[in-house]
Amino acid sequence: MIYKINNFSLKSFKNYTTPNNMLFKKNNVFFGYNGKGKTSLAKGIEKEIRDIQGINDNEFRIFSKDYLKLKLVNDKRRIKGVKAVFGNKNVKNDEEIEKLKEKIQDTTVLSNEIISNLKSIDSLIKTIEDGIRGSKKIRHVSVTNHEELANFKATFQNMKATALKITTVDKLETINVEFDFERAKLDLESLPTIDLLNLTDDLNTASKIVNSPYKMEDIPATKVLDWIEQGILLNKEREKCLFCGSELTNYDKIVENFKEFVNSTKQKDERLLINFFEVLKSEILKIENFISHEQRFENCGINISSQIKALAEYKDRLCYFKERIDDKLSNFESLIPIEFGDIEIKRTIASGALFAIKHIVSDSITRLTKEESKFNDLLKGSIAIKILSNKKINELAKETNEKIVKLKAIDESNLLLNSQIRDLRNKVKATNDFAIFINGVLLDLDFKFKLDIIEEDYRITPLKSDTEIDIDEISEGERNLLSLLFFYFELFDDDKQIHFKEDIRYVIVDDPLSSLDDNNRAYLISVIQLLFKQNNVQVFVFTHDWDAYCQLLYNADKNNFGSFEIKKDSNGVSNVEIGKPTITPYEHDFFELLDMSNKTADSLDDCDIYHLPNCMRRVLESFLKFKVPNSSPTNKNVANVSIGLFNKDTLEAKEQTKLMALLLVINSQSHKAERNIEEVFKALKFLISRSEV
């Protein structure tokens, strides 16, 4: 046994030596909140053991939170097999395995025959389809696997039934596939369309101009004015004219006269007519171009002669206006008679004709699409009749189905035989006994997974499934339990955990209780208590759980048990004190908080700030149990918390603020890695002040 560690320094431990009044005993239990130095002290004890002269690795065992990762999980994310053989194995297993292997049937030839038949059926179907559908886009009904073979006849029977709702078998057998629906739809979709401009206002204005006489008053023609404008721009800021070389002493007068000419009514009206003349030309050309495509509509089976007539009449009226405007522009001062007449009526009729053409084309495309769908159903029906009556296809399908039934029976037999062989092999594997033990424990604890042997290792699978589960997919508590079970089982020479391995002299268990429910927690505590009962073995257990600490030391023999608590002083240095497992968890946590509240916020280290919110929550919850029926310290239960701390459910603003800050710290910040020191310390002071009232 070792009784102390000497001059130990690691992290928060600084040159620590075990005092003579705190020497280690056979069984030693250490309590310490997370961050106080439990793992460091465990490593110090490990070092002290390793320094014993003549000690070897077989004489001590160490369990820590990394045990699963470091000791158990292999490169394939599976759990390494634990080799432990208890008792004599059946020597006849090998003979039984060989007999079972002889019963396994090779299915290679049968499988290849099925594949070959499926290819033949698929090829025959495709040949018939291609011969009937031609270039039509009819989906191939493939038969390349068991499922498709089972369904292909039903598929073709449905096709045939659909077609027979449209026509008779005789007509299906002589269906004409020459008509190209896709081409016909493309022809329809590519037919031209136009929209007519609304020229009513422009025609009215132009009619008034054409019907009006104009006096020339020595105003140059529009083309001359355009030439003058260019001359003005070119000769700006020049002394002599670029064209004639004369002195430009009268440049400003020329500009003034030009503006008068341009702003005259005659010039404005003339420019308006010129622009409108071009618009009319473009509109007439557009209509003429559309009319020229009448034959394309005829080729698509659409008669638009009446609509073309309406467009032609409107175009003729536009041409009449265009001619009158041209006459006016040729002799602008003259009055040109023009009749507005029924041009607006003609335009309305022409627009209606174009609208009708668009609807005729759209209806034709819709009708063609429906006819194509109907035709495709007929085409599929024609294909179905040929395939369903094909003797070769029917014979191959029957033969293949029989082979598939035979293959399925052989596969099921082989699967059963292989399962029996695997069970026999597992019985002689060194890893089987441990799997049996672990699975029994997991089942007793109502775990939903088991260990399954694979390649001398273990994989995790659901109880009723063969699907492999990754080690990270089970909960942290389940991983911790699994780790400790592995650790504990390996300490014994037998499957009943009676005979402890004689060479083991020291066992260190570092914080085994984490994220476990009460049932599993109780089981692990009982496992650790069994370690205490082993003779000639010194045990060191570390925990952050005060309840577990007290339970492990309950009725413990003081001669054989040492109880210790790891704390930190104001300088962040760890020390070990005699533990007092006789006080309740509430008392322990309360005095811990009381001690902290007498310090300053600056004196608290990261470890204090880390565990304080959790400790405060436990104290508040226990305190409230004495006061109110619902002791949950949450925002939803703030009324009960108010009564518990203030003896009233309606608080003043200042009281409400402090209470909400406390609840925020113990509920939100208890789950955060980073915590505000000032907020935590203020909440601590407030909680202690209300708890002492």
Cα–Cα dist 480/484, whole Å: 6
572 and 600 share one domain: no
Q: Is 635 domain-assigned?
A: yes
Looking at residue 84, its pLDDT comes to 45
Q: Is 91 domain-assigned?
A: no
Query: Can you tell me whether residue 457 is helix, strand or coil?
Result: strand
- What count of other Cβ atoms lies within 10 Å of the Cβ of residue 139? 9
DSSP designation for 603: G
Would you say 57 and 503 are in contact if contact means Cβ atoms under 8 Å apart? no
Would you say 206 and 276 are in contact if contact means Cβ atoms under 8 Å apart? yes
Which runs of E-coded beta strand occur in 341-456?
Answer: 449-454
Sequence-distant (6+) residues with CB within 8 A of 93 are 424, 425, 427, 428
129 and 211 share one domain: no
Split into its structural domains, the chain has a count of: 4
Ramachandran class of 89: left when φ > 0, alpha when ψ lies in -120 to 50, beta otherwise: beta
Looking at residue 361, its pLDDT comes to 93
61 and 30 share one domain: yes
- What count of other Cβ atoms lies within 10 Å of the Cβ of residue 372? 19
Q: Is 230 domain-assigned?
A: yes
Confidence (pTM): 0.45
The length of the chain is: 693
**Chosen domain end from 578, 606, 624:** 578
Q: Is 428 domain-assigned?
A: no
DSSP designation for 505: -
Looking at residue 357, its pLDDT comes to 94
Sequence-distant (6+) residues with CB within 8 A of 360 are 302, 304
Q: Is 596 domain-assigned?
A: yes
Cα–Cα dist 270/266, whole Å: 6
183 and 200 share one domain: no
Residue with tokens 């708890």: 691
Measured in degrees and rounded to the nearest 5, phi and psi for residue 373 equal -60, -45
Looking at residue 432, its pLDDT comes to 65
Max CA pair span of the chain: 138
Cα–Cα dist 444/498, whole Å: 19
355 and 209 share one domain: yes
Q: Is 470 domain-assigned?
A: no
Looking at residue 287, its pLDDT comes to 94
308 and 385 share one domain: no
Query: In terms of C-beta density within 10 A (0-12 exposed, 13-18 middle, 19 or more buried), how is residue 420 classed?
Result: middle
Q: Where residue 65 sits, what CATH number does that domain have?
A: 3.40.50.300
246 and 180 share one domain: no
Looking at residue 448, its pLDDT comes to 81
Tokens standing for residue 97: 């395995």
Looking at residue 690, its pLDDT comes to 80
556 and 644 share one domain: no
Would you say 220 and 197 are in contact if contact means Cβ atoms under 8 Å apart? no
Looking at residue 218, its pLDDT comes to 45
**Chosen domain end from 365, 390, 419:** 365
Would you say 663 and 635 are in contact if contact means Cβ atoms under 8 Å apart? yes
Tokens standing for residue 15: 């040159």
CA distances from residue 394 to 118, 128, 164, 198, 386 in whole angstroms, order as listed: 12, 14, 22, 69, 11
- What count of other Cβ atoms lies within 10 Å of the Cβ of residue 644? 22
Looking at residue 83, its pLDDT comes to 47
Would you say 629 and 647 are in contact if contact means Cβ atoms under 8 Å apart? no
Q: Which of 254, 368, 285, 269 is nearest to 328 (CA)?
A: 269
- Mean pLDDT in runs of 10 for the chain (693 residues)? 92 92 94 88 93 86 77 58 46 73 90 93 89 78 87 89 81 66 86 91 86 64 61 65 68 59 68 91 94 92 93 93 89 80 89 94 89 82 87 92 92 88 65 72 80 72 77 77 82 78 92 67 82 92 87 86 90 89 71 79 72 80 77 78 81 80 73 66 82 62
**Chosen domain end from 354, 379, 404:** 404
522 and 599 share one domain: no
Would you say 497 and 505 are in contact if contact means Cβ atoms under 8 Å apart? no
246 and 309 share one domain: yes
Q: Which domain holds residue 669?
A: 585-691
Looking at residue 663, its pLDDT comes to 83
Q: Is 74 domain-assigned?
A: yes
Would you say 365 and 188 are in contact if contact means Cβ atoms under 8 Å apart? yes
Q: Which amino acid is at 559?
A: N
Cα–Cα dist 162/385, whole Å: 12
149 and 173 share one domain: yes
335 and 231 share one domain: yes
Q: Is 441 domain-assigned?
A: no
